[in-house]
A and B are shown apart, each in its own frame.
Chain A
C-alpha cells in the first residue's frame, strides 16, 4: 500500500450520499410499534445490505444503546483515571465479516433512577463532549477518544486483521448503513466504520440526534501540504469546512500541544559499567563477587523522553503562528507533561544470570561427557573418574594430608602440572577455582598458612538475621538458608555458568565439590555451612543430602575418636572406671547435642562408649533370646541383679525403680536414623504397602520396633533389676495408672499398674521387653549405618548431571534473586515494585514447593523478577538523569524523587511549574545540552530531511533550545449554526496532528437537519 501514500484517496467530505428510500426496510426493532397488525410484512426478498443494517440495529438494541444518552458533564482527567471497557460482537455483510465494538467510559449511574429532567432540545451527549475541554490529549486512550473527545462510541471494522474496505463505493455503502441504522433506532451513540488498511486508522462516522447530525470525517496524508504546518493554515481549513454563513465568525477556541523528543542523553552516560571479568578473581569489583548476584541494566533502559508542552485554551487572535513568526515558545507553555519511553527489553544482569542458569536445566550431558574429552588426553582417571577419587586420596600425595587446606592445594597442584605440560583445558582456571573453594569452605582458609590472605566469611555480614522474614524465605521456596553451603554453591555455579566456561565450568566445579565431599568424609572433617542435626525437610533435596553426609561424618568421627579414646582409656582404668563414668556423663551429656561441631575435643570423649564392638552384639542376640524367655517366664521380668549398670545418662530425678527402690536412670540411647525426604518417601511407601490388614499393621509395628527395642535394652543396661513398669513410667507415663488406695491399715497408699492396653498379653511392648537384653547403646547394633548412608549420598552426588544440579539449585537462585531485588528496591523505594515482589514470593512459594515444577511456571517467575529488575534499573537511570542525588535542596529533592517515581508508574506526568519548576528546568537543560551537541554537524542533513516546509520554519524563541517538535496537535472548536444562518448553533471541532511521517485531520461537523 505504499503506492497511494502521497495523497489519501479519501476526500474530506463524501460527495454523494445514498438517498435511502428502501421501502422494505422496516426495522423490526424500531421504537415505534407497527400500528397495523394485519399487514403482512415480507422480508423474503431482503438484500444482504438490508440484513446487514438490521443486524447492526439488533446489536445496538442488545447493548441498550437506543434512546437518549444521559450523563454528567465530564470531569477533568476522567478519561485517564476512569476505566474504559469494551464489548464486541460479530456481524457480516454477505460473507464479509465485521466486528462491531462498543467502547465506553464506565460511569456511575447515580442519575439512573432520577432521570433528570431532559431538556427538550438538549444536544446529544457526544455532541456536547466535542466541546468539552477537560480531557484534551489524554495520555492513554483509544485514538478516537483522543481525536474527538468522545466518552463512548461504536466501531465497525473488518474482523480479520488484514481485511480492509478500500473502494470508495464500499466505504459509502457502509457509511450509509450506519446512517440508516442510527436513524431507525434513534441511537445517539456515534457509530464509526473503519476504512482502508487498519494501520492507517481511518475512521468515518456519524452521530444523530433529534434534528441534528454530526459527521465525523478524516484526512490522513503521508506528506503535509505546506499550509497545514501552521496554525494559520489550520484555522483557514477549519473555517472553510464549517462554511459558516455568519459574519463575523464566532471565535474559534484552540488547544495546542507540541511534543519534543529527547533521544540522546549526551553527557549522562549510563552509570552501570559492564562488570570486569578479570578483576573478579581479586574479589569485589563492580559489585560482583562470588556469593552475590548482580543487578542492573547493561544499556540505558530509558530510551526516550517526550516532553509535551500544552496551551490548553487559547482564543483565536491571541496568538500568531505562521510560516514567518510563532508565539508558541515551549518554555512559555502553561502546561508541561513528560512521559518516558522504556527500552523494550533492556539487557539486565540479574535477568541474564537467571535465564542462563535456567537453560542449564535443559542440558542433557552428564558431567563425564562434558569434561571427558578434555580430561581424557591427560590424567583422565584423575579428573573424570570420580570412583577413583578414593584411591587418589589415599595415594601418597605431593603434600601431607593432615591439613584441611590440603584439598585445595592438591587441586591447584594438579592444575599446575597440567599447565607445565602446556595443555590447560580445564574450564576453570586455578585462581577462580581456589577463590570459589575458599569461599565455599572458609574453614580451609582458617587453617591455612599465612601465605594466603585470609579471607573469611565476608558475606556473612549481609545475611539477614535468623528468624527474620527474609531468612525464613528458604522454607517457602524450599531452597536453603542464605548462609548455607548449598546456597553459596548455587550462587557460585550461577556465576561460573555465566562468566567462567558455562556448563563446562559448572561440571568442573561440581566435580571438585564432590571430591571435596568425599575427602571430608574420608578424613572426618565436618562440612561447614550446614545446620546441625538431621536433614531439614524444608530445604531442597541437595541440601538434605549434604546434611545427611554431615550426620554420617559426625557419627563416624565420634566412633573413630571413641575407638582411639577407649583404647587409651582401657589400659589404665579398666572396668573400675565405668561406674564413675556414668556419673560423670550425667552432667555433660545433655548439652552435647547442642554443642555439636563447636569444639571437637570437648565432646569426643563423651561419645566414646558407642558401638565398641559389633561382633559381640550378635553374640548377645543369640543368647539374649533365650535369656529373655527365661526372664519373661519368671514373674517381674527381673534381670539378674548382679549386673553392673551401664550406659547411664542421668538419674530421672523423681522416679525410683519399683522393686529395688534405686533411682531410675535415663539411659544413653541411640539417636534415630536421620532421613532425607527421598528416603522417607521410600520408607513410607514400604510401610504403606504392608496394607491395612491386622497382619500388615503388626508387621509395620515390628519393623518400627527396632528403636523401641534398642531403648529398652539401653534402659535395662542402665537400670539393673528393672521391670516393664519402670520402663513404661519413663517412656509412656500415661500408660502407668496410679490410684490412691486405702490399705488394710487405713493408710492411703498409691498403687500403680500398667494400663489395660499394656497388659494385653503378648502385645508388641511386652514382646519387645521380653526380647530385650541389658545392652548399653554403645554395644548395640547400630540403628543407623553411617558408612552405607554416606556412600549412598556420595554416589548420588557423583551421578548428578549439570542439569540435575541446576534443577536442585534453581530454588536457591530464585531465592537469592528475590532477596537481591528486595535489597535494591529498599534503596529506591518504589511502591509498585514492592507489590510485585510480594506477588513473586507468593507465586514462587506455590510453584517451588512441589517436586518438578513446570518449566513454564518457572519461566514466569524469572520473567517477573526480570521485570522488577528493569523497573529498578529505570528508576536509577531516571534518577541519574534528573540528578536527584545531586540536588541539594531537601524539599526539591523530595519533589524530584516523587516526580521520578511517577514517571515510572504513570503513563504521563505533569511537570509542576511547567518550564519554570525544578523538574522543568532540568528537562530544559537536558534538551539544551542535546541541542548544543547536535547543532554543529548535522545542519545540512537536517535541511535535506525536513524539506522545504521545515526549512522556512521560524527560528525564534525556544527553537534554539529545543529541536523541532516531533508532534504538533491542535484542537479547534467553535459553535456555529449550520448549514444556514438561521439553523441551530451546533458544536464544530477539528483535531489535527502532524508528525514527521504522518498528517491527520479529524473533523466533526454538526448540522441542523430539521429543514434539510
Chain B
C-alpha cells in the first residue's frame, strides 16, 4: 500500500489553546466537525495520505496542546518536522498577538531552518471577527509563511491549507529527499572548467 508513497512528511500544528487546532485536523483527516472536542493533552497524532500533483505523500500530523504549561512538553516533538501549521483564532486578537511567541518557539526547537510554515486564521464562520484578513496576510509576509483563512466548521480552506503546505514541502528538495529510501538518480554537478578536461589543459604548451 505504501509502495507508491513518495515520502512521509512530518507536519506540526501549533498555536494558542482553543484556536481550533484539533478541529482543523479532524476536519482534514476525517471530514467531521465536533463543536465539543476535548482539549488536547500533550500531543496527538493522525495520519493521512494525500496526493499533490500526482505525488502521494503520507502525512504524519502532530497536533499539540496550546496551554502554556504543556509547552515544556510539546516542543520536543517539533524535531524533524518538515512543515508547521500555525493557527490563530480570527475572533480572538490575543491568539494572534501570541504568534510571535510561537515562532520563537519554533526557531528554538526546530532542528531545521528551512521548515515550511503556514499561517491559518481559523473560525472565519464566526461573526465577531477581531483580526482582519490583511493583518494575517501582513504577518505571513513578514515571516515568509504561507497564509490562508479557514473554518474547520464550514470546511472552508482546510483541505487547501494542507495541500498547499505539502506541495511547498515537496518543492523544497533538501527538505525531504534524503529521508526517502529510494533516491532518484542524482545528476552530478561536476564543474567543467575549460582546460580541466580538455585535450591538453591549461599549461600545456610549456614545461
Residues of A within 8 A of B (CB): 83-86, 101, 103, 139-143, 146-147, 155, 157, 201, 259, 261, 306, 339, 476, 478, 537-538, 671-672, 675, 677, 680, 684, 687-688, 690, 692, 697, 700-701, 703-705, 707-708, 711, 731-732, 734-735, 755-758, 760, 763-765, 846, 849-850, 907, 966-967, 969, 993, 995
Contact = CB atoms under 8 A, between A and B. Distances in A.
A140 B42 contact: no
B71 to A, nearest CB: 10
Contacts of B77: 680, 684
A760 to B, nearest CB: 5
Interface string B57-75: 0001010000101101100
B112 interface: yes
B76 A140 contact: no
A481 to B, nearest CB: 15
Quick one: which of B18, B29, B109, B194 has the most chain A CB within 10 A?
A: B194
A387 B16 CA distance: 48
B36 to A, nearest CB: 5
Interface in B1-57: 16-18, 29, 35-47
Nearest to B46: A692
Contacts of B111: 478, 537-538, 849
Contacts of B69: 707, 711, 731
B185 interface: no
A960 B18 CA distance: 91
Contacts of B174: 846
A140 B60 contact: no
A734 B200 contact: no
B170 to A, nearest CB: 18
Contact of A680 (B35, B79, B194): B79
17 contacts: A141-B195, A142-B195, A142-B200, A259-B207, A306-B206, A672-B73, A687-B43, A687-B45, A688-B45, A692-B45, A701-B41, A711-B69, A734-B18, A756-B36, A757-B36, A757-B39, A764-B38
Contact of B41 (A142, A143, A672, A764): A764
B204 interface: yes
A306 B202 CA distance: 15
Given A700-B45, A707-B73, A140 B195 contact: yes
Contacts of A700: 42-45
A734 B194 contact: no
B73 A140 contact: no
Contact of A306 (B113, B200, B207): B207
Contacts of A757: 36-39
A155 B199 contact: yes
B104 interface: no
Nearest to A139: B202
Nearest to A846: B174
A755 B179 CA distance: 42
Contact of A143 (B39, B92, B205): B205
A201 B204 contact: yes
Contacts of A701: 38, 40-42, 44
B198 interface: yes
B188 interface: no
B204 A146 contact: yes
B46 A141 contact: no
B199 A760 contact: no
A478 B110 CA distance: 12
Contacts of B195: 84, 140-142
A139 B18 CA distance: 71
Contacts, number: 134
Contacts of A140: 194-195, 202-203
Nearest to B197: A86
A967 B207 contact: yes
B181 interface: no
Contacts of B179: 850
A855 B44 CA distance: 37
A213 B164 CA distance: 66
Contacts of A708: 41
A84 B194 contact: yes
B128 interface: no
B50 to A, nearest CB: 15
Contacts of B113: 476
A996 to B, nearest CB: 9
A688 B61 CA distance: 10
A732 B194 contact: no
Nearest to A261: B207
A731 B60 contact: no
Quick one: which of A142, A155, A201 has the most chain B CB within 10 A?
A: A142
Given A143-B199, A701-B41, 19 more contacts: A85-B194, A140-B202, A146-B205, A147-B205, A157-B199, A688-B45, A692-B47, A704-B43, A732-B67, A734-B17, A755-B18, A757-B38, A760-B36, A763-B38, A765-B39, A907-B202, A966-B207, A969-B205, A993-B205
Interface in B144-185: 174, 178-179
Contacts of A142: 195, 198-200, 204
A735 B17 contact: yes
Contacts of B67: 731-732
A677 B79 contact: yes
B206 A993 contact: yes
Contacts of A692: 29, 45-47
Contacts of A143: 199-200, 204-205
Contact of B76 (A103, A478, A675): A675
A700 B203 CA distance: 69
Contacts of A690: 45
Nearest to B92: A734
Nearest to A82: B194
A688 B10 CA distance: 12
B178 A850 contact: yes
B112 A849 contact: yes
B58 to A, nearest CB: 12
A142 B111 CA distance: 49
Nearest to B174: A846
A151 to B, nearest CB: 14
Nearest to A84: B194
A578 B62 CA distance: 43
Nearest to A672: B72
B94 to A, nearest CB: 8
A103 B16 CA distance: 65
A734 B98 CA distance: 13
Nearest to B204: A143
Contacts of A732: 17-18, 39, 67
B60 A688 contact: yes
A846 B16 CA distance: 32
Contacts of A101: 199
Interface string B78-109: 01000000000000100000000000000001
B17 to A, nearest CB: 5
A671 B71 CA distance: 12
A772 to B, nearest CB: 14
Contacts of B44: 697, 700-701
Contact of A704 (B46, B73, B109): B73
Contacts of B37: 757
Contacts of A83: 194
Complex A-B, nearest 9 residue pairs according to Cβ-Cβ distance, in ascending order: A704-B42, A140-B202, A701-B41, A84-B194, A734-B18, A763-B38, A146-B205, A143-B204, A672-B72
A146 B200 CA distance: 11
A763 B40 CA distance: 10
B131 to A, nearest CB: 15
Quick one: which of A147, A734, A850 has the most chain B CB within 10 A?
A: A734
Contacts of A538: 111
A73 to B, nearest CB: 22
A735 B39 contact: yes
Contacts of A907: 202-203
A478 B73 CA distance: 22
Given A687-B45, A688-B60, A760 B38 contact: yes
A756 B35 CA distance: 8
Contacts of A103: 198
